[in-house]
Structure 1
Amino acid sequence: MTPAPTERLHALDAVRGFALLLGVAFHASMSFLPGPQAWIVMDEQRSEVMAVTFFTLHIFRMTVFFLIAGYFGRLLLERRGGGGFIVDRLKRIAAPLAIFWPMVLTGIIAVLVWNTIETMGGIPKNAPPPPAITPTAFPLTHLWFLWVLLLLYPAMLILRGVGKLLDRGGHVARLVDGLIRFLTHSIVGPVLLAAPVALALWLKPDLMAWVGIPTPDQSLIPGPIAATAYGIAFTFGWLLQRQDGLIQAFTRRWALHLLVAIGATAAAYLMVRGTPIFARISDEGMRAGFCALYALAIWTWTFGLIGAALTFLSGHSPVRRYIADASYWIYIVHIPLVMALQVLLRDAPLAWPIKYGLVLLGTLVPALITYELLVRHTHLGWLLNGRRIPWRAKPQVQTQEGIA
């Protein structure tokens, strides 16, 4: 059954924080990718291990996040009502985007200038002007997920209102609930959820297979693949929350889902192994197979990871709870830190595992320190986590109202 309003779904907290922190590992891997330049900073050392890391993490982490975002979004709506839901989302999603996006972009530009000076000996005198900012050319950076959430929330509120208006007898709602139960309980659920994602990938003939789902980080209008993949994940999570305890069905086959996910990921990776990161798959049959495997990997990873978390991480852990709370701040600030460390270590005479570890450590440690000193116990903590923890807080049960 659904937890009481004062309880937390600790496992989903853990997965949400895990998905955000994997973003640090993902972006830190990009300077070590083999082949031509794929990132602002490219290290003198490259590694196929980093290629596998990059490829695998990009498959599932944001789909997992958006499913949980949809689940928690409806949970928040049920607890606070429409007005409270809108106020909370404006505070926790819109305000951080408006406040931190200019700061993050400034930090990224500063690192870009530093990198240019390091590699070219100065700023080119005849450098082209920066591109004009338009709705289809807007540098959302890694904070694009907040913008997409701000599109998904009103869309779900509108659909919910239209549904209540047109389906007064609840017949359609019962059919939808039955479909969600089937997708959640059935062994073919991940396959059916993957099908529209595979189709969206296949319909893009110039798909860059290494990138998979193109993240809408440079536009206010998400592309069709991202809209399909993340829209389905968010909607599925939202509808999943309608039924008490249904999410516990994820625990039934979590090991099988993870085995299938690993197999599908490995098969998809072998199709692109050794090709440039921006390469397209020219063979139509191979492209169709890749799209099917990639989409299947997305949803089996999602079912498997959430199921494993519900199986093993349902109890309260102060450490996991702290990391889950800190993960929002860490994700917001991490890109300029990661890039700066990549520039600093690019030519260092160190093995790539040491460099990669230093980038991760050099990002996470200051991010955690600033979270503790500047965020957790201040008004920023109220903004990002919904509450400001006193320096000597008494243990208490918190309601589940995270960014997702």
Structure 2
Amino acid sequence: MQNSSERLYFIDNLRVFTIFLVIVLHASLCYMVYAPQWWYVVDPQRSFVFDINVLLIDIFIMPTMFFAAGYFATPTLRKKGTGAFWIDKGWRILLPWVLGSLCLAPLIAYMIIFSRTDTPPNYIGFWFGDFWGPYFQQAHYWFLGVLTLFFLAFTLVNGLIPRVFQKEARATQPSRWLFPAFLIITTGAFLAGNLFYSADAWEHISYLFVIQPARIGIYAAYFALGIYSWRCGWFTAFGYRPRPLGWSLAAVITAIAYLAYRIAHPAPTELIVKLGWGLLQNAFSMTTFFALLALFQRYVNQGGYWWRRFGENSYGIYYIHNLILLPTVYLLRPTGLPVLLKFVIVVLFTMLFAFVFLEYIVKVPLRWRKGTIKSPGYPSNQKSD
């Protein structure tokens, strides 16, 4: 079995790629033809290409992030103990969630009004007024709240029945029924929420958690799958390694089927149509997720300098990206540039500006203070939540 201290670089690298896709998704929302009415900034120049982007990318990126969090949950808890585990999560997840939801999400939500009127209301008045009414949300910080909830449930179950999370003595392969069962579970979770809410609806629970009812169960399933896969030694020398060709072909087929179904049934009301939507969506999500795992393990399983630097900053990039992306979209609106060029500028500028800001403005003074400035190529101290 693979040495437990050996770094699974491909999971970190996949997480970097996923954060990049989050930026692509949020930029696409600004330029899609059928953008949500509540989306923060919408450019009058639009293309249906970006609708396709949103329909596809939106499905698998968050399951990937929840899986990665679940995969490293047990070894991190075992290494640190419950107290240190939660001190770490408090600083890295809980506190950023609270600050982001209370201080930054109102600023992002304010862009809905600011970008649509020549005389926007006073921001402070909005923050303490309408934000807590029809404009309430947690922006992209909802992820941290749900992740906190999952870690809490994980810690409680681990305290009650720790043997459930005990790693197998030898790596085991998934049974032939695992993937069909997982597809049934995620489809059932989707349908349970979709019976009462639209597939893309957002709801808040007493202002504390912001969730999508049709997806929250899916995210929990991927988080649990991450825990299970670590327990079974997946991705190690003798563990399960998904095959790139098979999963990639399945991803292409399910993507085409799901996309055609979504376009044909944009807002289904019949139960059987909702079931078909849920089945195809989750088949596409699962096959694409495993295809990405397979491709990254086969071809991007190394800790190159730039992968490590972006990996160490990936969380920070996720945290601040909308604060860069949305003003950039707003400033580019009157330029008259081709919509595709605007999109490329927004995506690249957001990713690179966030990285440069974090790597060379925020972190360099901290490294000088700690005496840890080193030449390029120094070992990454990246952590995996």
TM-score over 0.5 (shorter chain):
yes
Question: Is contact 1:76-1:401 (8 Å) kept?
Answer: no
1:389 CA displacement: 8.0
Name the aligned partner's letter for residue 105 of structure 1. Answer: A
Q: Report the CA distance shift for 1:214/1:63 in structure 2 as closer, same or farther (over 3 A).
A: farther
Partner residue in 1 for 2:118: 121
Question: How much has 1:71 moved relative to structure 2?
Answer: 0.9
How well do the aligned residues superpose, as a CA RMSD in angstroms? Answer: 3.4
1:254 aligns with 2:244: yes
* 1:12 corresponding residue in structure 2: 11
Q: Distance between the aligned counterparts of 2:165 and 2:359, measured in 1?
A: 44
TM-score normalized with structure 1 length:
0.81
Q: CA deviation at 1:121?
A: 2.6
Give the aligned length.
376
Counterpart of 1:89, as a letter, is K
Q: Summarize the Cα distance change of 1:64–1:344 in structure 2 as closer, same or farther, 3 Å threshold.
A: same
**Secondary structure at the residue paired with 2:336?**
coil
The match for 1:26 is: 25
Q: 1:22 to 1:238 in 2, by over 3 A?
A: same
State the Cα distance separating 1:83 from its structure 2 match. Answer: 2.2
CA contact (8 A) 1:260 1:300 kept: yes
Partners of 1:259 and 1:312 in 2: CA distance: 17
8 Å contact kept, 1:177–1:239: no
Cα distance change, pair 252–99 in 1 and its aligned pair in 2 (3 A): closer
CA 399–82 in structure 1, closer or farther in 2 if over 3 Å, else same? farther
Q: Which runs of 5+ in 1 are unaligned?
A: 165-169
1-side partners of 2:370 and 2:150: how far apart? 27
- Return closer, same or farther for 1:389/1:14 CA change in 2, 3 Å cut-off: farther
Task: Indicate the residue corresponding to 1:334 in structure 2.
Answer: 321
Q: Which residue of 2 aligns with 1:80?
A: 80
Deviations 1:252-311 (A, max 9, x none): 423212221222122111122277xxx521344332212101011111112111121111
Matched, 1:220 2:209: yes
For normalisation by structure 2, the TM-score amounts to 0.85
Report the residue type matching 1:298 in the other structure. S
Q: C-alpha displacement at 1:70, in angstroms?
A: 0.6
Contact conserved, 1:250 with 1:307, CA < 8 A, in 2? Answer: no
Query: For the Cα contact (< 8 Å) 2:242–2:290, is it kept in 1?
Result: no
* Corresponding residue number in structure 1 for 2:344: 357
- Report the equivalent of 2:138: 140
Quote the residue 2:374 is aligned against: 392
Q: Which residue of 2 aligns with 1:295?
A: 282
Counterpart in 2 of 1:157?
A: 155
Q: 1: CA distance between counterparts of 2:180 and 2:23?
A: 29
- 3-state SS of paired residue (1:314): coil
Secondary structure, counterpart of 1:43 in structure 2:
coil
Secondary structure of the residue aligned to 1:376 is helix
Shift of 1:106: 4.8
- Residues 85-125 of structure 1 deviation map (CA, whole Å, 9 limit, x = unaligned): 12211121123223444442254255345313xxx331379
Structure 1 Cα separation of the partners of residues 138 and 69 of structure 2? 19
SS in structure 2 at match of 1:156: helix
**CA distance in structure 1 between the partners assigned to 2:259 and 2:90 by the alignment:** 39
Q: Deviations over 1:22-44 (max 9, x none)?
A: 11110000011113654232222
- Residue 200 of structure 2 corresponds to residue 202 of structure 1: no
Structure 1's 133 and 45: CA in aligned 2 closer, same or farther, altered over 3 A?
Answer: closer
Distance in 2 (CA, whole Å) between partners of 1:253 and 1:239 is 19
User: In structure 2, do the counterparts of structure 1 residues 206 and 350 end up closer, same or farther at CA, with 3 Å as the change threshold?
Assistant: farther
What SS does the corresponding residue of 2:130 show, helix, strand or coil?
coil
